[in-house]
């Protein structure tokens, strides 16, 4: 019997046939015009995260000609220009740039991801992983720190100073071996937020566009957020960077304390130093991971004239560079696990409860159609989610 006759028979018998419904777990991918299961979207997002982490581990940074962060830096130079010496004008220019460059980065990322989705799953995975990898620099931080440690081990302080100068913006020309090691460990500890935890959490919450916007803000802070001639030009970017890193910095500090426990270091001292001494740094955020590292290593991390965290009088040693990298990598791995869990939890929240979509059954066995609106009967749609100088090196730079 055809569909029309079946419907007529059902109507004649007084039994109302509930409307056919599509799978309750589907959701629309934003901007691509297609509908796919939430589980597929979650799997794609987690796979992109895993591939990006492996990409960073195996290949490191892309070539400067194609590196999104380098392109952000070049765009920033055009928008910000040179300071005029008028605090009001410089602040206005910097505020405009601090809004435009991250927004443009996010919009460009969203447009690229839309085109990649239209091209197919393989393009979405590979292209998304490339863009996401460009927002964090775990391998780069390891490579820079190991260059410092290797130079010190060879007894070559000049090479060590040149290497540590690539990770900080301050003058390192007069540092001795202890000062070089101290500066390197401080940079590794501080950059766990900018180079790993922050972009990974931004991706988990807001996708590739969010990670790109985060990296744009951090790049602006690294380029302009310092005292001196660019102070007013970079003030808005620096404050925005402080706001965005409020949560990631605390997660980074906690992650280093957890890593310390897993690595057999002093996790209790890491937690206590972080909580007791984090406010000693001028930044509202950097004291959390630096304090955790100082406590875990049992050494005093100092930026001369600015802060001292950790047990007084105990110098950072060359061997502590390797130990600080173990903390850095452990906290980065933990951040990746948190990001994956956030992605999975978000996917579960976007999946409707299919039990509530089933028609009620009367005691006699007939189905009673539930009153539905067009909104409740439709499939769920996904909610939109949202360092140095460009020519020098990619990653983050400690102040």
316-336: pLDDT as tens digits: 999 999 999 999 999 999 999
For the segment 251-269, what is each residue's pLDDT rounded down to a tens digit?
Answer: 999 999 999 999 999 999 9
Task: Check pLDDT > 80 for residue 10.
Answer: no
- pLDDT range class, residue 387, cuts 50, 70, 90: very low
The whole-number pLDDT of residue 221 equals 95
Map residue 76 onto helix, strand or coil.
helix
Task: Check pLDDT > 80 for residue 173.
Answer: yes
The whole-number pLDDT of residue 399 equals 59
The residue with greater pLDDT, 169 or 140, is: 140
The whole-number pLDDT of residue 354 equals 52
Is 337:303 a contact under the CB 8 Å cutoff?
Answer: no
- pLDDT range class, residue 366, cuts 50, 70, 90: very low
- pLDDT range class, residue 192, cuts 50, 70, 90: very high
Q: What is the DSSP letter of 352?
A: -
Taking each helix axis as running N to C, give the angle between helix 287-297 and helix 319-350, from 0 to 180 degrees, rounded to the nearest 10: 130
- pLDDT range class, residue 353, cuts 50, 70, 90: low
Task: Check pLDDT > 80 for residue 397.
Answer: no
The residue with greater pLDDT, 123 or 397, is: 123
Task: Check pLDDT > 60 for residue 19.
Answer: no
- pLDDT range class, residue 148, cuts 50, 70, 90: very high
* 3 burial via Cβ count (<10 Å: 0-12, 13-18, 19+): exposed
The whole-number pLDDT of residue 226 equals 85
For the segment 274-288, what is each residue's pLDDT rounded down to a tens digit?
Answer: 999 999 999 999 999
The whole-number pLDDT of residue 398 equals 62
For range 293-311, the mean pLDDT: 96
Map residue 116 onto helix, strand or coil.
helix
For range 13-25, the mean pLDDT: 47
Alpha helices in the chain (DSSP H): 3-12, 38-59, 68-80, 87-119, 121-133, 138-153, 157-164, 177-192, 198-224, 231-244, 246-262, 267-277, 287-297, 319-350, 374-377
Q: Give percent of the chain above pLDDT 70.
A: 79
* 59 burial via Cβ count (<10 Å: 0-12, 13-18, 19+): exposed
Is 201:342 a contact under the CB 8 Å cutoff?
Answer: yes
For the segment 100-132, what is each residue's pLDDT rounded down to a tens digit?
Answer: 999 999 999 999 999 999 999 999 999 999 999
For range 90-100, the mean pLDDT: 96
Instruction: Return the exposure string of 127-152: e unless at least 16 CB atoms fall within 10 Å of the residue's CB, then b.
Output: bbbbbbbbbbbbbbbbebbebbbebb
Task: Check pLDDT > 60 for residue 46.
Answer: yes
- Residue recorded with tokens 């897993």: 262
Task: Check pLDDT > 90 for residue 348.
Answer: no
For range 360-383, the mean pLDDT: 44
Task: Check pLDDT > 60 for residue 27.
Answer: no
The whole-number pLDDT of residue 282 equals 94
Short-list 261, 258, 251, 289, CA closest to 273: 289
Rounded to the nearest integer, the mean pLDDT of the chain is 85
The residue with greater pLDDT, 387 or 305, is: 305
Give this prediction's pTM. 0.80
């Amino acid at each position: 019997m055809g569909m029309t006759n079946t419907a007529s028979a059902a109507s004649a018998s007084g039994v109302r046939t509930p409307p056919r419904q599509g799978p309750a777990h589907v959701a629309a991918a934003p901007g691509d015009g297609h509908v796919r299961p939430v589980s597929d979207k979650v799997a794609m997002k987690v796979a992109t995260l895993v591939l990006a982490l492996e990409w960073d581990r195996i290949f490191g940074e892309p070539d400067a000609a194609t590196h999104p962060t380098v392109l952000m830096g070049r765009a920033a130079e055009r928008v910000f220009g040179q300071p005029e010496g008028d605090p009001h004008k410089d602040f206005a220019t910097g505020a405009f740039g601090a809004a435009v460059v991250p927004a443009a980065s996010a919009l460009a990322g969203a447009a690229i991801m839309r085109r990649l989705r239209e091209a197919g799953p393989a393009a979405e995975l590979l292209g998304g992983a490339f863009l996401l990898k460009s927002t964090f620099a775990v391998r780069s931080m390891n490579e820079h720190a190991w260059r410092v440690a290797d130079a010190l081990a060879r007894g070559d302080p000049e090479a060590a100073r040149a290497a540590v100068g690539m990770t900080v913006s301050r003058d390192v020309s007069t540092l001795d071996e202890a000062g070089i090691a101290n500066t390197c460990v401080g940079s590794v500890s501080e950059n766990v937020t900018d180079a790993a935890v922050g972009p990974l959490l931004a991706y988990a919450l807001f996708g590739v566009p969010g990670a790109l916007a985060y990296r744009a803000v951090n790049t602006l802070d690294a380029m302009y957020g310092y005292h001196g001639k660019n102070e007013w030009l970079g003030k808005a970017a620096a404050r925005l960077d402080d706001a965005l890193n409020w949560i990631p910095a605390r997660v980074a500090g906690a992650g280093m304390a957890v890593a310390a426990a897993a690595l057999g270091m002093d996790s209790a001292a890491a937690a206590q130093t972080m909580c007791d001494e984090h406010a000693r740094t001028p930044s509202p955020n950097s004291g959390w991971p630096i304090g955790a590292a100082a406590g875990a290593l049992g050494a005093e991390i100092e930026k001369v004239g600015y802060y001292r965290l950790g047990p007084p009088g105990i110098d950072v040693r060359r061997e502590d560079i390797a130990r600080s990298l173990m903390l850095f990598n452990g906290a980065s791995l933990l951040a990746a696990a948190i990001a994956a869990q956030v992605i999975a939890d978000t996917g579960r929240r976007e999946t409707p409860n299919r039990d509530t979509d089933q028609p009620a059954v009367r005691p006699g066995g007939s189905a009673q159609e539930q009153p539905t609106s067009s909104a409740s009967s439709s499939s769920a749609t996904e909610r939109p989610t949202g360092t140095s100088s460009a020519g020098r090196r990619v990653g983050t730079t400690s102040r």
